[in-house]
Structure formats: C-alpha cells, structure tokens
Structure 1
C-alpha cells in the first residue's frame, strides 16, 4: 500500500491511498464468497459457487463494489496509523481507480479528506509549579447557607396589607380576547416577583390587597390561544408572607441532628470548607489547562467548529439566520475554547500513555445514565446504537490524562504547597488494578451490548414459544 499525505490546512489532510493488487485480492475473494451465499447457480450448491462463475453471474463490478465497501475503511485506518494522523471527524472518501476485471492490473486507489488533530508538542510538566488563587470560607458563606436552610422551614402567614415582592398570593385569572373569556383559572398560588407566570403580572399584583382586582395586557403562553394578546383580569383572594423560624437551638434540633445552633453552624462551616476545597481543585485544573495552552498555538478544525456552532444554536432554540452578530460571536468563542481544550487534553492523554479500563467506562456511562434518570444497560445500548461509544472512551481518557498530568506538576496557594490528593488519587492505586481490566473500552462496551442483545433475543424467543 502506498500512502501520500497533503496537508490542506493545519487541521485538514488529504490522503491518497493506492492498494496493490495482491492486497486487494483477499477482499475480492471474500466478496465472492458472500455473494455466492446469496445467488443460485444450476449445478452448484448455494455458497459453493466458484469465484469465476460469480464474476460472470453478477459481474465483476458488483464483486469489486462489495470488496471496496469492506476494504476501504480498513486501508484507511491502516493509513492513519502509519502516518500518525488523529482524525477528528469522518472522512470524505472518493474512489479514484478500481480494476474493471479480474485480470485488470489497475490498482485500487482512493482519497480520504479528513479534519485532523493538529501537530504540536505540550510544554514540559516535570519541575513545574503552578500558583492557584486561594478559596476561603467566610462568615458570610456560612450565614448564606444557614439562611437557605432557614427558608426551607419557613411558614406562610396571612397578612392584612398590600402584596409585595416575595409574598405568596392566591389569585383568580380570566383571559379575555375581543370581549370573550378564552381561559380562566381559580385559586392559583403565585410568588410575587418570581416571574414564572404571564409578563406584566408582577407589576399588576404589587400593591393589591386581598379582595382587590385589576387587569393588564399580556401575551398568552399556552393553550389554544398561545401567542395571542389578551386582557387578563386578576383578583387577589389572599396575601401571605413567608415567616422564617428563629435561629436558635430549637431550630437546630428541628432542622438537623444537632442540639445547638453553634453545632449546626460548625457543621455548615465544614460543608462550606469541603465545597471550597472542591473549588480549589477546579481552580487548579483550570490553571493547569491554561499552563498547557499558554506556550502553544492550537488551531481548531474549521469544519468541526462550524458544525458545533450550528448544533449549539439549534439546541438552544436560536435561529442562525436571525441571531445577532454579537451573540453568534460569543457562541463561536465558547465552541473554539471547548474544541481547543479537547484537542489539548487528547494530546495530553496520548503523551501520558493513558489506558482506559472496562470498569472506568462502565462507571462513566452509569454516571451519565444516572444524571438523565436512565437505566445504565439501556443507556449503553443507546450509545452503541448511535455510534457514541467512542466519545465515551475519549471522555474517560481525557479525564485520566488530566489527572495524570496534574500529578506531574506542583500546585501552590500563597506560596504554600496545595494538596490535591483527595481529588487526584495516587499512581500506586491505579497501578494496583488488575491488568486484565486495562482492555479496550470500546470492545468492552461492545461486548456488553452483545450480551444485552442476546438477552433481548432470548426474551423474544421465549415470548414466541409462549
């Protein structure tokens, strides 16, 4: 196989791959065997038709087409490995030359144009010290958390005064269009100032007391007349204010397992300190990535960036045609930052020789499934079906590469060493893992998918038997 590479851009390459006849021949033979299983030729058993007869029966072009479908992806993967090209997207394949008969000496030739990871070297990690800003827990942090807990135990008490922001009102609503009532609701509870109902309702309700009513114009947000302007009549049935419990020992006993308010505050301070420690680790991570990117130029693939921007706008419900230039620029900058981080972390994982284990992939998939409230096994099936297992493996590798890289450097806060062992773990712990677990994550996930598929087939067979 002969491979030539032309770099169209720093992140885009065009490979021209020429396959020798003897390399392509096994694929032709395999194609003939597969086709022989599907055709009937008098005098021959199905699946035992000689290759020459298959060529005559279906035409060499059909045989070559089947062979190309199987051969091109494999030769493409080999070419990527040989030329050390890391693709970031699917290639655009074009078959240039193909033999027209079994005796034709024309070599299979095709091109593959693909957006790739740019070539660059990461800065050194040994003997590097990175300073991180200190995160502290203040009395205000503790008070803020205590107030949140206090609000959970608040009660609503009726008040004989006009409604104000933060009050809870019980109201009746009637939407009128052209003098006709189109929607009405009674006994609706609403927190004034929350902005969770119709536009204009906060301004209309503020200052009203129980028994009073008013009207305002608004656009209906649901129902048969969604999007239409309406005159909304509103009547206040009651006004209630939130009454907070006293912050004392009695409150501590009701809201927690502690006997005194001081003990509760101390526990809250410990929780705030743990969160601050987590923020400190996040700050260290961000500083580490910033260090990696500081002295290198990392271009991003234009095509991938454009597709990601379009997808992000679509996911957020924004129209690429009507979005303002400033809003689009913000999205583009964020996408470019995310892409650059991804490229750097992929290179880091490779540099650190990261190996992804079966268990790590399962844990990653299970954590995502939990976030979406899905069964992990069903989620595995879904990502396999959608061809997303590679993305899961990459995410695990990036995370491991980040941890491995951060272990190589030293972090300081105010000139003092920062201990991140709670977040980074230890190399010894990873080395103690059974080597058998360090298998290809994609293969592991595929095996699980096969087991699940077999289970489904068994269930279907059992149902058929019934």
Structure 2
C-alpha cells in the first residue's frame, strides 16, 4: 500500500491511498486460519476447521474485518508519514472517498488533531464589572419575607369563611365517574390556600367554605398528569372543612435567627449578615449567567486563533441540528426529510455557532490546565445530588440517569468552566 498525506491546516490532515485486493485477500486467509483454530463445526475436530469452510460460513464478516484491518494499516501509514503522534488524533476519521474498484479500494480520509492552544494573553479578554452589593432595605425586605414564611399558624379564635393564605384542615376523597381512585383520599390534611399544592382549581373552591361545611369540588386533571389513568379527566372531590388557621405576625428577633441558622448563639445581626451574603450571591449569579459569562466566552473566542478539528465541528453541527429537529412539528420535519438541500442550508446556518462552541471548549480546557482548575467526580456527584434535592427528585435516580446517558462529562465540563470563569472574573475572592 502507498499513501500520500496532505496537511489541510494545523488540526486536520488528508490521508489518501489505495488498498489492493491482494492485501484484503491475504487478510481474509489469515483471519480464516485464525478463526478455524477456535471454531467448532460438525464433521471437524475443534480447532481444525479448514479455512475454506470458515470462508463459506462467515465470508461477509471475514471480508468486512479484512477491509477494516487494511484501512487501519493505511491510516497508520498515513500517521507515520505525517510524523504526528497517534495520541493527538481526536474523534473518528471522516471518509471523503471510499471507492471500491475491481482491483483495489481507493480511499481518502480526513484525520483531526487536538488543537494546540497557546494559553497566553487571555487576561486582556476578561471584562471588567462592578461587584453587586446589598442595601439595608433589601436585607430588611428579605428578612421580613423569610420571617413570614416561617411564622407559625394558629387556629382562628372567631369562626369565619376560608380566605386566601389560610391554612386549612380538611378531609377529602376523589371520584372519577363516581368511582373512588387510589391516592385520592386523606383525613385531617393540612392545605395552605394559595400554595398551588393541589390540582389547579381545587384550592380556589375551598375559599369561602365555613367550619364543618361539606362541599363537592369539581376539577379536571391536567393532560400531562403523572397518572395516565387520571390525566385529562374530570374528578369530584368530597371535601369537609374541620379547621382554619391564620399565620401569626412574624417576630424579628434573635430567636428567629437561632431557629433559621440552627445556632443557639446566633443573633438577628448574624442572620442579617447571612441574608446580605445571600442577596449578593444571587445578584452575582444573575449578572454572571446573563452578562459576564456570555461576554467572556465571546471575548475569549475572539482573542484566540487556531484551527479546529473538522470532525468535532461536524459532530457539534449534528447535535444542533438534532436539537432543532426535536422542536419541529411533524410537517416541518417532513419537509427537511424530503429536501436534503434544506438540511445542508440549515447546517450552514448553524456552522458558525457550532465552530464557536467547539473553539470555546478547547479554550476552556487549555485555560483550566493553565490556571490549575480541577473538579473531581465527587464534586460532580454532590452538585447533581444537591440540584435533585432542590427540585424534589430522587438524587440516586438522577445520578443513575446521568451515568446511563453519559451526561457526567458535560456536567463536569460545565463546573470546570464556571470555576475557571469565576477565578478569571474575581468572583471567587
């Protein structure tokens, strides 16, 4: 086999060559002999199956494997000819040509290399900004809000009808088409009116009920309801009101601070300082995600100039096209399926965005190494665990989902990116 190598740019090379049929046939003979030593076929002793029998039984698979081996050898020759390190090759090769002729297979394949990003001068790309602060008024408003959320409820002294914001004590049982359904019954259940805890329309119909009143509350389950048996169906709940509770005025004192901070030595000033830090953190997070991060990525992409591996760019374009396809209606999707030129136009449309995304990934990787930014697997698991807890999901199930769908590397990359940008912007100080 002979190969020629052409350098496209610093990140891509084109390997051209031809694989003669004699090479493929020699590979088939060798693979057949090796397989015959392992196979068991009726009429032959194990390990003594003749090559011609192996070829007869597994001819297509042998030829496929023989061609793969020959292509691998051709690619290795191209790598050696180009004088590159095989470890620098990234992703899968792109076949530009694979033409089977009578006596040979003519091949052109493009190999991509990991870019060499010179991590220099990037400090100039970091945008300047004024770090957010928290005013005394904002801290006081936050304090009143959190105190109100934690103020206790007490049974009302004079009987009246239910109002929005009340805590109620109710019995209820739900029926669909006159038949009670599983999970639709409870006794002495605490429901805060206006909390949105129940099906839309339920809590609003409790408003105006009086002590010991019984009422039929009619609602319709959402179409996307988790139980398929109930989704989209009308249900009647027989409700009995036992008690109404009002929320007491919140006391802003050291006792509140000690309760909220789980610290017997905490004071109201301690709580205010914590709330001040929280407000500053929330403001900083908002300005980082909405302004600083996009500006920094754009500036870094503009600052660095290096060739991108074509195969990785094509993968990113594929991902963006697939994401758009998932959002398309069936009619629109059909138009693209029937018109390949529209797909190519769409690929061209997202190409620049994909290139910038790939470029940013390599920049972050290089700068993270330069700035000694690391995120270990335990940090990734802890972050996913916390997010799952905050959203009311089972952390173990969420982590399992990320593992099974190979999403952990993306989460880790995102955490490294945020750590790096935080350091560059001075947000971690």
TM-score band, normalised by the shorter chain?
Answer: 0.5 to 0.7
Shift in CA distance, 186/294, structure 1 to aligned 2, threshold 3 Å: same
Give the distance between the partners of 2:267 and 2:329, measured in 1 at CA: 57
Give structure 2 stretches of 5+ with no counterpart.
Answer: 333-345, 389-394
Deviation at 1:247, TM superposition (A): 0.7
Give the distance between the partners of 1:356 and 1:58, measured in 2 at CA: 57
TM-score by length of 2: 0.61
2:340 aligns to what?
A: none
2:359 aligns to what?
A: 344
Shift in CA distance, 354/31, structure 1 to aligned 2, threshold 3 Å: farther
Deviation at 1:246, TM superposition (A): 0.8
Give structure 1 stretches of 5+ with no counterpart.
Answer: 8-12, 100-105, 314-318, 324-331, 412-418, 423-466
Does 2:284 correspond to 1:269?
no
* CA displacement 1:266-296 (0-9 Å, x = unmatched): 3432444455555566554332013245699
CA contact (8 A) 1:211 1:235 kept: yes
1:307 aligns to what?
A: 322
Shift in CA distance, 182/370, structure 1 to aligned 2, threshold 3 Å: closer
CA contact (8 A) 2:35 2:54 kept: no
CA contact (8 A) 2:173 2:238 kept: yes
Deviation at 1:251, TM superposition (A): 2.9
1:35 aligns to what?
A: 35
Give the distance between the partners of 1:78 and 1:210, measured in 2 at CA: 88
2:134 aligns to what?
A: 137
2:243 aligns to what?
A: 238
* CA displacement 1:116-157 (0-9 Å, x = unmatched): 999x99997354452335422123442354345424642221
Shift in CA distance, 278/201, structure 1 to aligned 2, threshold 3 Å: closer
Give the distance between the partners of 1:363 and 1:264, measured in 2 at CA: 30
CA contact (8 A) 1:172 1:234 kept: yes
2:171 aligns to what?
A: 172
Give the distance between the partners of 1:64 and 1:338, measured in 2 at CA: 41
Shift in CA distance, 25/235, structure 1 to aligned 2, threshold 3 Å: same
1:154 aligns to what?
A: 151
Does 2:259 correspond to 1:249?
no
- Give me the CA root mean square deviation: 5.6
What is the 5 A alignment of 1:392-407? 392=408, 396=412
The SS at the match of 1:162 is coil
Does 2:297 correspond to 1:286?
no
* CA displacement 1:3-49 (0-9 Å, x = unmatched): 799x9xxxxx998854545987896577346413333599x996688
2:213 aligns to what?
A: 212
Shift in CA distance, 218/16, structure 1 to aligned 2, threshold 3 Å: farther
Give the distance between the partners of 2:271 and 2:99, measured in 1 at CA: 75
Match of 2:100 among 97, 101, 108: 97
The SS at the match of 2:252 is coil
The SS at the match of 1:130 is coil
Give the distance between the partners of 1:230 and 1:30, measured in 2 at CA: 72
1:427 aligns to what?
A: none
